[in-house]
Chains A and B, each alone.
Chain A
Amino acid sequence: MSSASVDTCFLINWARFSERDKLKLVFDRLFMPVETFNEVKSDVALSLASRWLAKRYLVLAPTLSRDETEVTEILRIVAERPQIPSVDPPELYAFVLAKRLGIPMLTDNKAPKRITQLLPQYSSVLVFDSFDVLEMIADRGYDLASLVDKFMKETRFRFARRRLEEAGLLG
């Protein structure tokens, strides 16, 4: 089991998911940069964040000056490539933290995954979205179809047809 870095979107999505504690089957600790945590505002997400912070399952991480430099550089690269969706600094701090600590990043935004697919210097950063994480939980003895169905209903998510087919969830 490893730690992971999380961004705001992932936390707010999983805060709505009744099976959110199953995340602990896959990751033993979550790190979130302070800049990213500042984006968390809703009662639902703050309630989960405060419980996880109290148990040290979620840990706030400081941002280093070299992180700032790298975030600025990635923003420049993304601005030159319209195929990569726009990214905001709070999300990038989580991405850069994952790279610095050598841990995966959890996010439901497409940009970090696309950065790792396009830019060789970031290809070693593992980026997992909610579907990836649900598959990891299922690997520990849970039914993927039930998890996916519940997640989609409770968080208003849809997963792309290709991914459902690859996971054997479409006929």
Chain B
Amino acid sequence: MKNKSDLFEEWRREDEEAREIRRREANWDFIRRQPPRVRMALECFIECGDLYVAAKVAGMTVDEFNELRIKANIPVVV
């Protein structure tokens, strides 16, 4: 196993790269046109990349939120 500080640094870099990709590719016009709760959930997904958390913010199931993030052109980054 890697030591924890190396692992955390690797994860931090991965998360930042993923966040940048989501920010860059998102359809911000679409996002700004959404009702406040949905908009906040999409912005939350862009920042954290967590479908479960964002779906909760939107008041949707993960499956429903996934359809929404596709409409908003926000990629899942793996």
Contact = CB atoms under 8 A, between A and B. Distances in A.
Contacts of A13: 66, 76
A123 B49 CA distance: 24
A8 B74 contact: no
Interface string A90-123: 0100000000000000001110001001101001
Interface string A136-171: 000000000000000010011111111100000000
A87 B52 contact: yes
Contact of B21 (A41, A118, A123, A158): A158
B1 A129 contact: no
B27 to A, nearest CB: 11
A154 to B, nearest CB: 10
Contacts of B7: 83, 117-118
A9 interface: yes
Nearest to B75: A158
B interface: dominant SS = helix
Nearest to A9: B51
Contact of B66 (A9, A91, A110, A152): A9
29 contacts: A9-B62, A9-B66, A9-B76, A12-B63, A13-B66, A39-B61, A40-B63, A41-B64, A42-B64, A45-B63, A85-B48, A86-B50, A91-B52, A109-B50, A109-B51, A110-B49, A110-B78, A114-B11, A117-B7, A123-B1, A156-B74, A156-B75, A157-B76, A157-B77, A157-B78, A158-B21, A158-B76, A158-B77, A159-B77
Interface of B: 1-2, 4, 7-8, 11-12, 14, 17-18, 21, 25, 48-53, 61-64, 66-67, 69-70, 73-78
Given A123-B1, A160-B78, 11 more contacts: A9-B62, A12-B66, A41-B63, A45-B63, A83-B12, A85-B49, A88-B52, A110-B14, A152-B75, A156-B73, A158-B18
